[in-house]
Chain A
Amino acid sequence: MKLITAIVKPFKLDEVREALGELGVSGVTVTEVKGFGRQKGHTELYRGAEYVVDFLPKVKVEVALTDEMVESAVEAITKSAATGKIGDGKIFISPLDDAIRIRTGETGSEAI
């Protein structure tokens, strides 16, 4: 099992959710986050004075998957979240030791 953590542009969230849904992914956790990458921040003007926005708003999508689904899920996220412009985000894949469904007590791939 793997845990995919994708950082995407907020306005792309609906498309990512739809693409994952089409693959049959049954659960996703979403968090509003802020951060910077190569896009860095940008400056804005407020009443004539500059202020730097160091951290840009992004959405973190976490999804737990069986190993065989990882490749297609990564492809789906990459396709749906891409704009081609800087700041499209990243996907991190990490091993997942176990998962437990709280209601039934099922574990492993049964639980995701």
Chain B
Amino acid sequence: MNEIFELQYALDTFYFLMCGALVMWMAAGFAMLEAGLVRSKNTTEILTKNIALFAVACTMYMVCGYHIMYADLGAFFLSGITGDGVTGAEEAATYAPSADFYFQVVFVATAMSIVSGAVAERMKLWAFLAFAVVMTGVIYPVEGSWTWGGNAVFGLYTLGDLGFSDFAGSGIVHMAGASAALAGVLLLGARKGKYGSNGVINAIPGANLPMATLGTFILWLGWFGFNGGSVLATASVKSANAVAVVFMNTNAAACGGLIAAMILARLLFKKADLTMALNGALAGLVAITAEPSTPTALQATLFGAIGGVLVVFSIVALDKFKIDDPVGAISVHGVVGLLGLILVPITNDASSFTGQLIGAATIFVWVFGASTVVWYILKATMGIRVSEEEEFTGVDIAECGMEAYPEFVS
């Protein structure tokens, strides 16, 4: 019996780590997607932001984020994380504690990746990274402690008791990232030339759609780790079944989202807008993330499709409000993240609509409010926006001193 338990422990830990590695790879997906949807003069800088934010997020979560999120205040630097996750044969969590850290930390990086796309092409590199320090070290972990951490919100109410449920983080990760992004975009302003006089909305086409498509495929793949790993175990018939259902539904929702967004874009714009199809797939994934374990495959496809429809309308609507989001991150992760939370009670009896709405409001108010304060302080001190001339030349040269595609250099 003990040997079977050890095997289960080893397998669950291994599964957890592999899923974490898949989620880590989503950072590559975000990097490619964002690099593809900006102009070529801003490619190097967006890649720098993406890979640097990953390192910052992992470091800050190691320093204090993980402890804040899981109620071990006063501890730092993952003290005690290398121990054994087993205290007895009846132990519920059958994986190594450090595997738990690894799986959690890549989610933090995902939330931060969402921000970089929305503020692309005009935000200062170092102001962005300064924000990343606070977001991944404090803002996200505090909100995470109220949800997955199970702590009361400022000691007032506990979301779990109200029927709040967010399986893999439609709200906790995606909507949180989008809330921080929205706060940043509002203080940052639109890219120059995006909105003309008399309400004219100018398109600024992305430079590399093969890269954006590859990025979407990478995110899609990584999402199996994101949602699949959130089952937290695989080494029993029950958990293996749950994992398989989550994989199936995650994939179905992405397909539903892509098909719906593509057809809607064709109807609205007369042509098959690839970027909308890509956003549609991601919207489907975000929509199902709050509860991929209870819907049927058909329900998952439909939930994804609702996300795909919503994301297209949301992108068009944000432009009307002059909220400039080059990659559609606020729509994909924020608006559809909220949708994902609201859809949970349809298939999961353990959750309630009021619980979901209170949870969504709590996450949004905290992350948006705290982010606004941090962005504002950064704006008042170091400044968050590059100069008009630097924006025109491209932030690649202004911030990194190198172009992504140099010509005439020899």
Contacts and interface: CB of A to CB of B under 8 A. Distances in A.
Interface string B263-293: 0010011110101100000000000000000
Given A46-B275, A47-B273, 13 more contacts: A44-B203, A45-B269, A47-B276, A47-B316, A48-B265, A48-B268, A48-B276, A49-B201, A49-B202, A49-B203, A49-B319, A50-B202, A51-B202
Interface string A49-61: 1110000000000
A13 B328 CA distance: 39
A78 B359 CA distance: 70
B210 interface: no
Contacts of B276: 47-48
Interface residues of A, number: 8
Interface in B167-207: 201-205
10 contacts: A45-B269, A45-B270, A46-B275, A47-B275, A47-B276, A47-B328, A48-B316, A49-B201, A49-B203, A49-B319
Contacts of B205: 46, 51
- 9 tightest CB-CB pairs across the interface, nearest first? A46-B203, A51-B203, A49-B203, A48-B316, A45-B269, A49-B201, A46-B205, A47-B275, A47-B315
Contacts of A44: 203
Interface residues of B, number: 18
Contacts, number: 39
Contact of B271 (A45, A49, A50, A51): A45
A46 B273 contact: yes
Interface of A: 44-51
A65 to B, nearest CB: 32
A48 B202 contact: no
A94 to B, nearest CB: 29
A51 B270 CA distance: 15
Contact of B273 (A45, A50, A51): A45
Contact of A50 (B203, B265, B315): B203
Residue among A44, A45, A48 having the largest count of chain B Cβ atoms under 10 Å = A48
B253 to A, nearest CB: 22
A45 B204 CA distance: 10
A83 B270 CA distance: 26
Nearest to A48: B316
A45 B312 CA distance: 13
Contacts of A50: 201-203
Contacts of B201: 49-50
Interface string B231-269: 000000000000000000000000000000000010011
A49 to B, nearest CB: 4
Contacts of B315: 47-48
B104 to A, nearest CB: 34
Contacts of B328: 47
A50 B276 CA distance: 15
A49 B275 CA distance: 12
Contacts of A47: 203, 273, 275-276, 315-316, 319, 328
A96 to B, nearest CB: 30
Contacts of B268: 48
Nearest to B316: A48
A48 to B, nearest CB: 4
A49 B265 CA distance: 12
A67 to B, nearest CB: 38
Nearest to B37: A47
Nearest to B275: A47
